[in-house]
């Protein structure tokens, strides 16, 4: 099967699916929206992983979620019933640490806009971290903020505490052209379940012409992602970040270097997001499968396939499935 042919076909449980299974040695899975949905495992996902390993297939997990360290991923996998080893997990926090330590050879500190999971992974690699969840200058005027002369890199991740002070400090460091500028991933937004309470007014009482305060619940369907925060820093600093996560192929290189090699012609990327997971697979020369349990829809994939724009046509999977559980019939003896 040629990885270059993307025609977005449903993966069958017949000869087509068996041919694909025989042609693939390594399976790369995204996590959020593929293995689990929030705190709930996708039905059949753990069984698929176990069945693939029982057949001698190599399985890796490649996630753009930078809020979790490798250890945090392992705890979640275990809690949801997956049998996963540490060296099978490649999140952007871990890959950023590898990039700064091994590829860039960082000699100095990194200023982080991001979570404790990201910072702990960097510290585990021997990297000195500033910022993160504890911003010492938060609440100060920008003119009162002091920059550390030892900072040699700025790393933007998912940061729920993103603020004007943090933006200003990042830009201050990036005025130095020798300061590296990295982003964990380009995801512009993430799906969100739940809601938020906002103030409002009841309709005016016709007799008194007065309004009465009340609260109403509205449902938020998305939250800004790392890509949104990175864009703010890029505009304010007039610099362009180097993205470590999907669709950049650096994460593929991390797996290849730490697993004794990885042949893209015999690898399959399974994900739920066209602009990251599927494009990552295409960029790395892998075959791709879109699972419909997450962000992207079949309609979006078909629209990309019909597009006149080459950039859109690259974001088309070879196959799609309703969920990863659709692999189970192919794995039965």
Residues recognised as catalytic: 30, 32
Residue 81 CA to residue 249 CA, distance in Å, equals: 29
Please classify residue 7 by burial: count the beta carbons closer than 10 Å to its beta carbon, then call 0-12 exposed, 13-18 middle and 19+ buried: exposed
The structure tokens listed for 226 are 């790392």
DSSP secondary structure string for all residues of 162-229 = --HHHHHHHHHHHTSTTSEEEES----EEE--SEEEEEEEPPPPTTT----EEEEEEE--EEE-HHHH
Give residue for tokens 């103030």: 199
Is 88 within 8 Å of 139 (Cβ atoms)?
no
Residue 271 CA to residue 62 CA, distance in Å, equals: 9
Please classify residue 163 by burial: count the beta carbons closer than 10 Å to its beta carbon, then call 0-12 exposed, 13-18 middle and 19+ buried: middle
Angle at 120 between CA 114 and CA 124, to 5 degrees: 140
């Amino acid at each position: 099967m040629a990885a270059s042919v993307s025609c977005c076909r449903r993966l069958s449980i017949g000869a087509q699916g068996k041919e694909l299974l025989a042609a693939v040695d390594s399976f790369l899975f995204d996590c959020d929206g593929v293995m689990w949905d929030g705190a709930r495992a996708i039905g059949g996902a753990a069984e698929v992983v176990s069945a693939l390993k029982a057949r001698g297939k190599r399985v890796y997990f490649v996630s753009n979620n930078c809020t979790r360290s490798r250890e945090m991923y392992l705890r979640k996998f275990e809690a949801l019933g997956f049998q996963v080893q540490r060296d099978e997990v490649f999140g952007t926090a871990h890959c950023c640490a590898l990039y700064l330590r091994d590829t860039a050879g960082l000699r100095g500190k990194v200023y982080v806009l991001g979570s404790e999971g990201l910072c702990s992974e960097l510290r585990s690699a021997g990297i000195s971290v500033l910022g993160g969840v504890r911003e010492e200058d938060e609440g100060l005027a920008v003119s009162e903020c002091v920059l550390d002369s030892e900072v040699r890199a700025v790393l933007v991740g998912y940061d729920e505490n993103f603020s004007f002070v943090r933006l200003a400090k990042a830009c201050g460091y990036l005025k130095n052209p020798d300061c590296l500028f990295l982003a964990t991933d380009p995801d512009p937004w993430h799906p969100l379940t739940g809601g938020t309470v906002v103030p409002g007014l009841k309709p005016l009482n016709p007799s008194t012409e007065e309004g009465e305060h009340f609260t109403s619940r509205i449902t938020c369907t998305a939250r800004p992602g790392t890509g949104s925060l990175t864009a703010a820093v890029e505009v304010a600093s007039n610099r362009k970040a180097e993205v470590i996560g999907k669709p950049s192929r650096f994460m593929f290189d991390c797996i290849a270097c730490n697993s004794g090699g990885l042949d893209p012609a015999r690898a399959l990327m399974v994900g739920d997001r066209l602009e990251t997971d599927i494009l990552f697979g295409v960029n790395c020369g892998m075959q791709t499968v879109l699972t419909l349990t997450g962000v992207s829809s079949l309609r979006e994939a078909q629209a990309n396939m019909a597009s006149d724009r080459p950039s859109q046509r690259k974001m088309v999977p070879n196959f799609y499935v309703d969920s990863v559980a659709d692999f189970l019939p192919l794995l039965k003896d």
